[in-house]
Amino acid sequence: MAATGCGTAIHSPLPSPTGTTQGQSQPATGPKMGYVWDAASQSLRPLQGVAGASIAGAATVSAPAQGPGYISIASSGVSGSGLFLDASGGIYQSALTGGALTRIAMLPGATSLLLSNSGSYGLVIGKSASGGPFAASISGLPATPAVRSLNVSSLPAILGGAASDTGTVALVAGSGSGGVSVVAFVGQSAGAQVATVQAFGGVQFVPGSDELVLADGESGAITAISHVNTTPSPAVVSPAGGITAPVGLDITSNSRWLVAANAKGDVLRIDLTGASGTTKVHCSCAPVQVVALSGNTLHLVTAGAGPLWIVDAGSSAPRVLFVPAIGAPGAAVASKNAL
């Protein structure tokens, strides 16, 4: 199991002509560390409990019993809502605790979506019918979503991206061994290059700001770029060699802890306030992504079956813990910044 929880599948009715499907109404009780998507059962589940003593709870939102399955999700604990992308390009929105699951856009060729920490802005990435990249931003979430295409005609393959709480979006694009570029889009303006790295190792905005943190997947250097939407100013927060070949990073909702990981299970914790030193721990897993949940907890997303691995970043020393696997094995996608 990767970035999500497991459990019994609960399906909802087929989409109505308006594009609305019915989610489940089964709010979980007690503390929750976040919500995760179980790809095997096509359902969203809460991680109930606290770090070191938690389980994946009953489904709150499930994909329709028929039709294309969901291939990517993103959620925000601040807004309490999530976005769901199906294989046909349909983008749906729902409260994390269940209820109506309503289609807000149709973008054929979309392959992934992301949300800002507040849940106000989203980013959709994919390929056009001609095979070229496309990207679109979503503003006005969750109440009045509006989709705007980004001009990415000059970019090669899009490798990843992030959306900020200020409305700025960043795309990481490149191909081959020639390095990759980070391009920021502000409002209606064209994209502007703000950084280059040798390889993509993860990118995320610091919650509530336009500060972008970027990992070089080859050197391992991690750089924070402040004022991305005005006058970008880079500063190294972890030099080259701090972690080998990172594959992903994310930042806790209090904007303090940055956690990066590589495929060998090395986990690097950085205090963005500078109050404590950088610490490295190890996970007996093979992460492919890092996703922030609630508080100081982050999910180390893996591609295979097994337990869910999480990082408790708020301790004096970070702890790598696991949530027991439940139900049928299968990769899942963690929801971003969930409750």
Residue 68 lies in a domain: yes
Determine the pLDDT at residue 53: 86
Determine the pLDDT at residue 236: 97
Has residue 235 got a pLDDT over 80? Answer: yes
Residue 138 lies in a domain: yes
Cβ-contact 95, 81 below 8 angstroms: yes
Has residue 187 got a pLDDT over 80? Answer: no
Residue 241 lies in a domain: yes
pTM of the model: 0.87
Determine the pLDDT at residue 219: 96
- Average pLDDT of span 79-89: 95
Would residue 187 be called left, alpha or beta, if left means φ above 0 and alpha means ψ between -120 and 50 degrees?
A: left
Question: How many domains is the chain partitioned into structurally?
Answer: 1
Cβ-contact 173, 186 below 8 angstroms: no
Determine the pLDDT at residue 76: 93
When the pLDDT of each residue in the chain is averaged and rounded to a whole number, the result is 86
Parent domain of 282: 20-334
Residue 1 lies in a domain: no
Q: 1 falls in which pLDDT band (50, 70, 90)?
A: very low
Domain harbouring 163, CATH code: 2.120.10.30
Residue 188 lies in a domain: yes
Residue 13 lies in a domain: no
Rg (CA), the chain: 18
Determine the pLDDT at residue 335: 54
Residue 7 lies in a domain: no
Determine the pLDDT at residue 23: 41
Cβ-contact 222, 236 below 8 angstroms: yes
Distance, CA of 188 to CA of 105 (rounded, Å): 19
Q: 3 falls in which pLDDT band (50, 70, 90)?
A: very low
Report which of 148, 212, 222, 220 is spatially closest to residue 182, judged by C-alpha positions: 212
Residue 122 lies in a domain: yes
Q: What is the DSSP string of 253-270?
A: TTS-EEEEEETTSEEEEE
- Mind listing the pLDDT tens digit for each residue in 18-29? 333 334 434 445
Residues recorded for the chain: 339
Determine the pLDDT at residue 327: 52
